[in-house]
């Protein structure tokens, strides 16, 4: 994994209009990168352009949906038109949902995979020819702590992020011959609008995102990992502790997760047990 400075590098960020993506654009431009910001909202991208250029940053935008082949090609065309190529691809765009699998709509899982997995992998595919010609090229995939250890009521989102992790590990080896680094960053709780934008929110076990890292802190940690050439970074102390505990004592993490679910559904379990007795 190569060390690199962002000054002068051509960087594309997906999901750039809000949260971590927006913070990545602002911070990368502040460090001297030429940034191509991609998101579905042209209005929010326009606001981002004003902020970055007011700080003398270099930015261009592409209103695009990474799940659409024609939009992915538009991103490639824009990178060539504005910057003559690409050095760093940051796959940040993502959606989520909470709730128990049995109660979820199958269409929700397909929508999550369409963005988090297929959108990410196919965006990577179309940019590989440009990245092979780039300067200290790299792909950064924004994953999640639940892509390392799944939590109850996050099965759909976790499954998509586990897929990202597996794809990234394989790709890292495959692209070594081309000099392209693959960096995976797994944030924990982050103070963004991500929870408000979820496709479904049915979890009884709520997580307090306001106690997590800020988007700016995640962006700084991500770009630091890119600059240092760190292949895999897990963020937040709780996130790191969860991953370590799961590696050393997976049985304990399983027991704790099951206990939490049983406590949340204690009343439902009691009613079901009562019904079973009455049937007998």
Do 257 and 225 share a structural domain?
no
106 is a domain residue: yes
Q: Which residues contact 127 (CB under 8 A, 6 or more apart)?
A: 12, 75, 76, 79, 86, 89
User: What pLDDT was estimated at residue 274?
Assistant: 64
User: Is residue 72 within 8 Å of 93, Cβ to Cβ?
Assistant: no
Closest CA to 93 of 126, 121, 69, 74: 121
2 within some domain: no
pLDDT at 209: 46
- Helix, strand, or coil here: 1? coil
In this structure, are 268 and 239 located in the same domain?
A: no
246 CB-near residues (< 8 Å, 6+ apart): 148, 149, 253
Residue 130: phi and psi, rounded to 5, are -70, -40
pLDDT score, position 268 = 67
| HEC sequence for 200-231 | CECCCCCCCHHHCEEHHHHHHHHHHHHHHCCC
Residues facing residue 58 across a β-bridge: 34
Q: Which of 17, 131, 117 is nearest to 67 (CA)?
A: 117
In a domain, 230, yes or no: yes
Residue 111: predicted pLDDT: 94
One domain for residues 161 and 227: yes
145 with 29, same domain?
yes
CA atoms within 13 A on the CB side of 244: 9
What is the CATH classification number for the domain harbouring 95? 3.40.50.720
Cα–Cα distance between 224 and 203 in angstroms, integer? 34
Tokens encoding 9: 């590098």
Are residue 244 and residue 255 in the same domain, yes or no?
no
Identify the CA nearest to 185 among candidates 217, 144, 240.
144
Question: Which structural domain range is residue 160 located in?
Answer: 10-248
Q: Give domain status of residue 1, yes or no.
A: no
Distances (CA, A) of 49 to 53, 61, 91, 112: 6, 8, 19, 28
Domain count, the chain: 2
pLDDT at position 208, please?
A: 46
The tens place of each residue's pLDDT in the chain, 280 residues long, gives 889 999 999 999 999 999 999 999 999 999 999 999 999 999 999 999 999 999 999 999 999 999 999 999 999 999 999 999 999 999 999 998 888 888 888 999 999 999 999 999 999 999 999 999 999 999 999 999 999 999 888 899 999 999 999 999 999 999 999 999 999 999 987 766 555 555 555 555 555 444 678 999 999 999 999 999 999 999 999 999 999 999 999 999 999 988 887 877 666 656 666 666 665 5
Residue 158 lies in a domain: yes
238 and 267 in one domain?
A: no
Please give the positions annotated as active site.
157
Do residues 60 and 36 touch, judged by C-beta distance below 8 A?
A: yes
Residues 259, 157, single domain; the answer is no
Q: Are 215 and 274 in a shared domain?
A: no
């Amino acid at each position: 994994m190569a060390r690199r400075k962002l000054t002068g590098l051509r960087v594309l960020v997906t999901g750039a209009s809000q949260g971590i993506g927006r913070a990545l654009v602002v911070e990368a431009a502040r460090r001297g990168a030429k940034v191509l910001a991609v998101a579905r909202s042209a209005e929010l991208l326009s606001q981002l352009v004003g902020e970055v250029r007011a700080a003398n940053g270099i930015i261009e935008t592409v209103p695009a949906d990474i799940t659409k082949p024609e939009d992915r090609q538009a991103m490639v065309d824009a990178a060539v038109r504005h910057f003559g190529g690409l050095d760093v691809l940051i796959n940040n765009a993502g959606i989520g949902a909470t709730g128990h699998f049995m109660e979820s709509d199958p269409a929700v899982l397909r929508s999550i995979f369409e963005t988090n997995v297929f959108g990410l992998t196919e965006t990577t595919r179309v940019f590989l020819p440009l990245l092979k010609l780039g300067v200290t090229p790299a792909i950064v995939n924004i994953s999640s702590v639940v892509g390392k250890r799944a939590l109850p009521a996050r099965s759909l989102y976790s499954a998509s992020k586990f897929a990202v992790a597996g794809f990234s590990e394989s790709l890292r080896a495959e692209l070594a011959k081309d000099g392209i680094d693959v960096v995976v960053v797994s944030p924990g709780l982050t103070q963004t609008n991500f929870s408000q934008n979820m496709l479904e929110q049915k979890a009884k076990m709520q997580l307090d995102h306001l106690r997590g890292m800020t988007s700016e802190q995640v962006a700084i940690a991500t770009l630091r990992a890119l600059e240092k050439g760190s292949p895999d970074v897990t963020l937040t102390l709780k996130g790191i502790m969860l991953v370590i505990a799961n590696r050393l004592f997976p049985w304990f993490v399983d027991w704790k997760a099951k206990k939490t679910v049983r406590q949340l559904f204690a009343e439902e379990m009691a009613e079901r047990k009562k019904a079973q007795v009455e049937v007998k």
